[in-house]
Structure 1
Amino acid sequence: MAEAAAKTVLDNISQGHLECPICCCRFKDPKMLDCLHSFCLNCLDEMMSKQKSETEKITCPVCRRETQVPDGGLQSLSSSFFLISLVDEINKQEQLLGKALSASATCESCEDGHDGELRCPDCKENICKMCQEAHQFLRCTEGHRIIPAQELETSSVVPTDLTKTVTPKCRKHIEQPLCFYCESCDILICVMCAVTEHRSADHTYTEVSDVIKSFRENVNDILHKFEKSKEQYASKADSIKYARNKLKMKLAQARSDISAKEEAEIDKIRNKAKLLTEKVDEIGQERDSEYEKALMHNRDQMERADQIVTAVNDLMRQADVFELLELKPKVMHNLEFQKELKCEPAKLDMAFIGVNCQNVVSDTDLGEILLKEKWQLKEEFGKEGAGDGEFQWANGVACFNNGDIVVTDTTQNRLSLFTSTGSYKTSVKQGAGGDQLEAQAAKCRELEAPWNVAVNRDDLLFVTDQKKVKVFDNELQFIREFTPSVDDAKMLPESDLTGIAVDKQRVAVADWGRKVITVHSLGGSLIASTSDNMTTSFLAMSNKERLIFTNYAEKRLICVDLEGNEVFNVMPLLKGKPAKPTGVLCDDDGSIYVAVQSGNVGNTEVQRYDSNGAFISTVAQGFTNPFQMAFSPAGDVVVADLHSVKIFERM
C-alpha cells in the first residue's frame, strides 16, 4: 500500500513539475529560455522549424516573451541542470518502486488474481502471461515492450542525493569542469577557457563560489525590492478601489445633478408657462369683457329705438290731425334719438391673441461634463491689518463641523474665529482678556505664540503654542493643555512646536526645535516618536497610518510611517524648477495637497499628489503666500494666504 501511494506521489510530481509544456511528456534535455521557462530541446527545435520567417528569436509558448537564439543554435541555450537531475532521480525512484511492487504484484489487466510475472514499462502495469497476448494484440498497445518482472528486481538503483551540486563540464573542453565565471561574457568557463579565450584584459573572471555569493546577495536585494513593489501595488490597489468607488459615487451624483437640473428647468418652464398663460387669460378676459359691453350697449340702443318706433307708429295710426299736431314736438324730440343712435363696432383686432414662444432652453448643452477635477475660488475674506478680521500673517487654518473657520495670525499671536462665509465672530489673543470672562482670560494669557491648528471629528481644536499643545472648543473656550514628551535621558534642545495634525484618535505634533515628530492620544499621552532630522512647520496624517510633512529649506515633501520608516521623499516642482513646499493636507483617498512657492511672492500654487508621492495635477493658483490648508465640512479647500483666507470649491 505504501509503495503504491509513493508511486502516485511521484506521478503527480512528474505531471505537475517535470513535464514539458509543449509535448506534455517528461523533460528530455531541457533548455531554459530568457524568461526562465524550460522546454525539451526537440520541442524547441520543432517550434523553430515551423516558423515561417527566418527569425533568430524564439517565442515562449507560455508567456510570449522572445529569446534570442545563440550563434550555436538552440543547443547552446542554457541547460536546466536541476530539471535534468530531478528527472533522473524520479526515473530511478520509479524503478525502485517498480521492483518493490513487482515482488508481490498481481495482474492489473484481469480479475483472475494471476501473478503479474510480466511488466509493461510503457503502461507501468504488471500483467500475467494470459494477458500478454491480448496486450500485444490491441492496436493501442501492440508496440509496447513487455519484460519479465525479474529484470526490475535485478537492477541496482542508488537514489541520487539532490542536495549535492553536480559540477557540469565545459562544452568546449569536455574533460574540464566549469570553475570560473567570466563577468565580461556572462558565461561559465573552465581553466582551459580562462588561459585561452578569456586571458585578455577585456575579460574579468571570478571563481564560481565567489560569484554565486555576490549573485545570491544581488538577487535577494532585488527580490526584496519586488516585495516593496508588492506593498506599493497593494497600496495602489487600495487607492484604485477607493477611486473606483469614488467614481461610482460621482457618477451617481452626476446623474442626480442632471435629474435635479432637469426637474429644475422643467419647473422653470412650467412656471413661465403658467405666468404666460395667466397673462393670456387676463388679456382675453379684458377683451371679452369689452365685447360683452359692446353687445349690451348695442342691444340697449336697439331696444330704445324699437320703443320709439313702435310708439310713433301707434300715434301716427291712431291719433287724429289735431292730436298729432299737438304732440308734434314730443314726437320729433323722440325721433331725434335716431341721430344719437350709434352701435359699437366689432373691434376685430381685439379678436387676435397669439404667443411667440421663445427658446427657454438655449441651443447649448444643459451642462458641461467635467472630465478632470476642477477647483474655483468660492470665497475670500480678510485683508492686511491688525483689526478684527484682519491679518498680518495668516498661517494656520482649520474648520469645525458647523463650517466655522479658525485662523492663527503668527505675527499678532492671535486665534480668530469666523463663520463659513468669513464673518468675524471672536478671537483669543496673547495674554489678553478683552471682553472674555475673567476665568477664561487667565487661561488666554497662557497663549504665547500660536502657530498651527487642527480640529478633530469631535470639534476639539488643537493649537501648537511653543512648548505646549492647547485644546479649545468650537467657541475658543480653553479646555486643557499638554506638553509633548520625548526621551529626556539625553540633553535635548529647547522645544518649539510648529506643525500639528489629527485623525480619529491621535494627535501628531512637529517639534522644530528638537527635530522630532511625536504622536499622542487625544488626551496627550505619548504613543510614538520619530526623528525627521529636518525642520518642518507643516504636518498632515493620512488614513494609511502615515505622516506627511514638508521641508521648506530642503524643498522636500516627505512621508514616513508611524515608526519613522521613510515611504517617499520627493521634490515638488513649479514650472519645471524645484519649489518650496509649505502647507500639506490629506484627502480620504490618500491623495496629498501641497502648497508650493518659488520663493517669490505670487509665484505659488496648490498641487495634488497620490499616496506614493507622484504628482497628479495643479489644483489652484493665484495665491500671495499660501501656508496651512484644511478641508471644510462641504469638502472645500480652505487656505491661509498671508493676509487673507481663500476657499476653493471642487466643481
Structure 2
Amino acid sequence: MAEAAAKTVWKISKGHLECPICCCLFKDPKMLDCLHSFCLKCLEEMMSRQKPEAEKITCPVCRRETQVPDGGLQSLASSFFLSSVVDEVKQQEAVLGEASAPTTTCDCREGKEATWRCLDCSDNLCQKCRKAHGRVKPTRDHQIISLGDWQESKIPPAEHSKPITRMCTIHRHHDHPLCFFCDTCNTLICSMCATLYHRSAEHNLLKIDDTIRSFRSEVDNILQKFEKCRQRFKSTEKSIEHARNRLQKKLAQARSDIDVKAEAEITKIRNKAKLLTDIVNKIGQERDSEYEKALTHNRDQMERADQTIAAVNDLMRQADDFELLELKPKVMHNLEFQKELKFEPANHGPSFIGVRCQDVVSVADLGEVCVSEKCQLKKEFGKEGTGDEEFDFAAAVACFTNGDIVVADTRLNRLSLFSSTGRYKTSVAKGDLRHQLEAPLGVAGTHDDLLFVTDKKKVKVFDTELQIVRAFTPLADDADGRSKSKLTAVAVDSQRVAVADTGRKVISVHNLDGSLIASISNNMVSDYLAISNFGCLVFTNGEGHSLLCINFKGKEMFSVKTLMNGKAAKPAGVLCDDDETIYVAVHSGIRGASEVQRYDSNGAFVATVAQGLYNPLEMAFTPAGDVVVADLHSVKIFERM
C-alpha cells in the first residue's frame, strides 16, 4: 500500500518537479523574479540565443522579465526546496525499484559501496565518508542511519529528517551556518559576516526564526486579503455571468418581439390591403358592369340592323322589278331602323382607377430600441376611500393566470378582485363566515391559480372566485398554549410556499399542501418576502434599510443596504423575476417620491426602473410580465420597457 501511495504521489508531483524548458527533473534550479524556476543550463542556453548585450531574461512561462545579476545567471536565487525534493524523489524511485539503476555507491564518486545514509544531506556514504562526516564540524550533528534501514523505513521522509542547516557561501565562511538575516541588505549571513561586515548601526540584523515567522505572517495576511479579493472576483464574475445571460435572454426576447410586431403590422397591412382591394374590386365590378351593359346594348342594335340589311339585300337580289315595286313600302319601312339606332357612347371616365398608398414605415417606426430597463405606467385604478373601488391601505397584490388582480387592504381587512383593466369584480371582508376571512395581510398566487393569504395565525388558500379551499397553521402554539405568531408575508413558487412570521422571527417553508419542510430563524424577518428562481429566500428589513438573501438552510447569501441618492432608504416589497433579477420598492421618506429599484442575484444595485410612486408596498407580476404595485391608495400597473 505504501508503495502504491508513493507511486501515486510521484505521478501527481512529477509535473511540478520538471523544468518547463527541458521537461526533465530539475538540475541546479534557478528562480526568476516571477517565482518560476528553470534549470541553470536551460537558462544559459536561452541567454546564448539572445543578443550579447541583453541584460534581462524573459520567463518562457509568463513572459515577465528578470534583470540578470552582475554575477550572471549563476547568481540567481537557487531553488533549494526543488533540489531537495528532486533528490528525495530519486531516492524514493530507487527504493520502489522504479529507477533504472538503484543508487548503491557512495556519493564521493570513488565507486565504493554505500552502507550509510545521511538524512540531513540526503547522501549515500561509504564507511570512510561516514567517519569523515562525523569528524567535520558542519556535519558532525547530522543524523546517519544504515542504508538498509533507510530503504526499509516506512517513516515518511519529513518525519525522520531534521531541519536543513544551510552553510554560509560568502567570504570563505563555509564552516559557519547561516544564522542571521540582514534586513538592510536583504541577505542571509553567518555570525562571522555579522561581526565583520554587518556590525554598523545601519544594518538591521534579525534572527532567521524571527524573520521567517514575520515573513510568513506578512505573506499569510497578504494571501488572506487576496482570498477576499478572489471571493469578490468570484461574486463579480457570477454577477457578470448573470447579467450576460440576462442580456442573451433579453436579446432573444427583443428579436422575438420585433418579429411578432412585424408579423402583427404585416397582418394589419395585409388586412388593410384586403379592404382597399375589396373597395377597388367593387368599384371595378360596378364600372365593368356598366361597360358590359353598353357593349351588350350596342351589339344588340347592330345585330338587329345586320338582320334587316341582310333581308333587304336578299330581296333586292332575288325579287323581280314588279315584286320590288309591290314590296317597296315594306322595304322602306324596314329601312327606317337606321333612324332608331342609338348607341351607348364610350365613357372613358370610369375606366380609370388607382390607389395612392401611404408610406407606412416613414409615417411611424415599427418601434424603438430601449437600451436600459424602465417601467412605464400603463394603468392605474383605485383611490383613497372605503368603497368597492377604493382603498384605505392597499398593502399586497397577486395575479391569477387570466390577468385578474387580487388586492389585500389591511385596514379594511378585505380582499378585492379586479380585472386586468382595473374593473371591480367582487370582494370578501372580515366577518364573512362563508370565506372564513379575518385579517388578510400578505397574498401570493400560484401558476395553477391558488391564492395563498396570511390571515392572523393561519395561511388560507382561495380559488379564483375568492372561495376558501383549505387552511393550515405554519407553527404550533407555544408550551403555554399561546402563540407569538404574527404572519405577514407569503411567497410561492411551483413547489413551495414560504411564510414570514415576524412575531417569532421565523420563515417557515412548506409544501403546497401545507406540510412543513423547514423552519428558518432570522432576526431580520419583516413584512415582505419572495422566493427566487436561484433557490433562495429574498426579503427586506425596513428598520435596518436592508435587502437580504438566505438559502433554504438559513445561510446568508448576501445582505446589502438600500439607498436613494446615496442615503439610507427604507425598503418594502420585493419581487424576483425568472432571470434572477430582484425588484425592490424603496421609500425616500417623502410620499410621492419613492421608487422601484432593480438588483442582481448577488445583491448588487443595478438601476432605478420606476420613480414618483406615492407609497409602494408589495408587488406582483401579471401573466404578461407587467409589474403590479400596491401603492397605498391605488394600484399601479407598470409595463417593463
1:416 and 2:416 matched: yes
Q: Secondary structure at the match of 2:383?
A: coil
| CA positional deviation for 1:222 | 5.2
User: 2:417 corresponds to which letter in structure 1?
Assistant: L
Q: Which moved more, 1:607-616 or 1:222-231?
A: 222-231
Partner of 1:143 in structure 2? Answer: none
- 1:434-583 mapped onto 2 (5 Å cutoff): 439-440=433-434, 443-444=436-437, 447-448=438-439, 450-485=440-475, 494-534=484-524, 536-583=526-573
Take 2:484 and 2:52, find their aligned partners in 1: how far apart are those partners? Answer: 76
1:584 and 2:583 matched: no
Partner of 2:631 in structure 1? Answer: 641
Q: Which moved more, 1:228-237 or 1:268-277?
A: 228-237
| CA positional deviation for 1:194 | 9.4
Take 2:377 and 2:25, find their aligned partners in 1: how far apart are those partners? Answer: 71
Decide whether aligned partners of structure 1 residues 524 and 167 sit closer, same or farther in structure 2, where only a CA change above 3 A counts.
Answer: farther
| CA positional deviation for 1:647 | 2.2
Q: Which residue, 275, 278, 282 being the options, matches 1:275?
A: 278
Partner of 1:61 in structure 2? Answer: 60
- 1:372-383 mapped onto 2 (5 Å cutoff): 372-373=372-373, 375-383=375-383
Q: Which moved more, 1:515-524 or 1:240-249?
A: 240-249
- 1:7–1:94 CA contact under 8 A, matched in 2: no
| CA positional deviation for 1:537 | 1.9
| CA positional deviation for 1:29 | 4.0
- 2:548–2:560 CA contact under 8 A, matched in 1: yes
Q: Secondary structure at the match of 1:151?
A: coil
Q: Which moved more, 1:396-405 or 1:63-72?
A: 63-72
- 1:43-62 mapped onto 2 (5 Å cutoff): 43=42, 59-62=58-61
Partner of 1:166 in structure 2? Answer: 164
Q: Which residue, 200, 213, 217 being the options, matches 1:214?
A: 217
Decide whether aligned partners of structure 1 residues 220 and 333 sit closer, same or farther in structure 2, where only a CA change above 3 A counts.
Answer: closer
Decide whether aligned partners of structure 1 residues 298 and 584 sit closer, same or farther in structure 2, where only a CA change above 3 A counts.
Answer: same
- 1:62-461 mapped onto 2 (5 Å cutoff): 62-64=61-63, 79-92=78-91, 151=111, 153-154=113-114, 158=118, 160=122, 161-162=157-158, 164-166=162-164, 168=166, 175=176, 177=178, 192=194, 196-197=201-202, 199=204, 207-208=210-211, 210-211=213-214, 214=217, 218=221, 221=224, 225=228, 228=231, 232=235, 239=242, 243=246, 246=249, 250=253, 253-254=256-257, 257=260, 260-261=263-264, 264=267, 267-268=270-271, 271-272=274-275, 274-289=277-292, 291-292=294-295, 295=298, 299=302, 343-350=343-350, 352-359=351-358, 361-363=360-362, 366-369=366-369, 372-373=372-373, 375-431=375-431, 433=432, 439-440=433-434, 443-444=436-437, 447-448=438-439, 450-461=440-451
Q: Secondary structure at the match of 2:490?
A: strand
Q: Secondary structure at the match of 1:246?
A: helix
Decide whether aligned partners of structure 1 residues 248 and 356 sit closer, same or farther in structure 2, where only a CA change above 3 A counts.
Answer: closer
Take 1:637 and 1:331, find their aligned partners in 2: how far apart are those partners? Answer: 96
Deviations 1:24-69 (A, max 9, x none): 3432443445654323456556657867799987654323456688
1:629 and 2:619 matched: yes
- 2:444–2:452 CA contact under 8 A, matched in 1: yes
Take 2:399 and 2:508, find their aligned partners in 1: how far apart are those partners? Answer: 23
Take 1:407 and 1:23, find their aligned partners in 2: how far apart are those partners? Answer: 75
- 2:94–2:101 CA contact under 8 A, matched in 1: no
| CA positional deviation for 1:573 | 3.5
| CA positional deviation for 1:586 | 0.9
- 1:181–1:208 CA contact under 8 A, matched in 2: no
Q: Secondary structure at the match of 2:595?
A: strand
Take 2:402 and 2:199, find their aligned partners in 1: how far apart are those partners? Answer: 80
- 1:86–1:162 CA contact under 8 A, matched in 2: no
Q: Which moved more, 1:528-537 or 1:389-398?
A: 528-537
- 1:591–1:610 CA contact under 8 A, matched in 2: yes
Q: Secondary structure at the match of 1:474?
A: coil
Partner of 1:39 in structure 2? Answer: 38
User: 1:597 corresponds to which letter in structure 2?
Assistant: H
Q: Which moved more, 1:32-41 or 1:556-565?
A: 32-41
| CA positional deviation for 1:85 | 1.5
Identity percentage of aligned residues: 50
Take 2:609 and 2:98, find their aligned partners in 1: how far apart are those partners? Answer: 78
| CA positional deviation for 1:416 | 0.9
Take 2:398 and 2:48, find their aligned partners in 1: how far apart are those partners? Answer: 72
Q: Secondary structure at the match of 2:591?
A: coil
Q: Secondary structure at the match of 1:471?
A: strand
- 1:170–1:178 CA contact under 8 A, matched in 2: no
Take 2:538 and 2:324, find their aligned partners in 1: how far apart are those partners? Answer: 127
Decide whether aligned partners of structure 1 residues 355 and 99 sit closer, same or farther in structure 2, where only a CA change above 3 A counts.
Answer: closer
Q: Secondary structure at the match of 1:453?
A: strand
Partner of 1:24 in structure 2? Answer: 23
Take 1:636 and 1:82, find their aligned partners in 2: how far apart are those partners? Answer: 65
Take 2:520 and 2:281, find their aligned partners in 1: how far apart are those partners? Answer: 74
User: 1:605 corresponds to which letter in structure 2?
Assistant: E
User: 1:406 corresponds to which letter in structure 2?
Assistant: V
Q: Which moved more, 1:613-622 or 1:216-225?
A: 216-225
Q: Which moved more, 1:352-361 or 1:547-556?
A: 352-361
| CA positional deviation for 1:83 | 1.0
Structure 1 gap ranges (5+): 106-118, 122-146, 434-438
Take 1:641 and 1:188, find their aligned partners in 2: how far apart are those partners? Answer: 73
Partner of 2:129 in structure 1? Answer: none
Q: Secondary structure at the match of 2:111?
A: helix
Structure 2 gap ranges (5+): 123-156
Q: Secondary structure at the match of 2:391?
A: coil
Q: Which moved more, 1:525-534 or 1:470-479?
A: 525-534
| CA positional deviation for 1:477 | 2.1
Take 1:258 and 1:567, find their aligned partners in 2: how far apart are those partners? Answer: 40
Report the number of matched residues: 591
Take 2:20 and 2:546, find their aligned partners in 1: how far apart are those partners? Answer: 51
Deviations 1:572-631 (A, max 9, x none): 343454433211111123221112232222223222211101223333334222211112
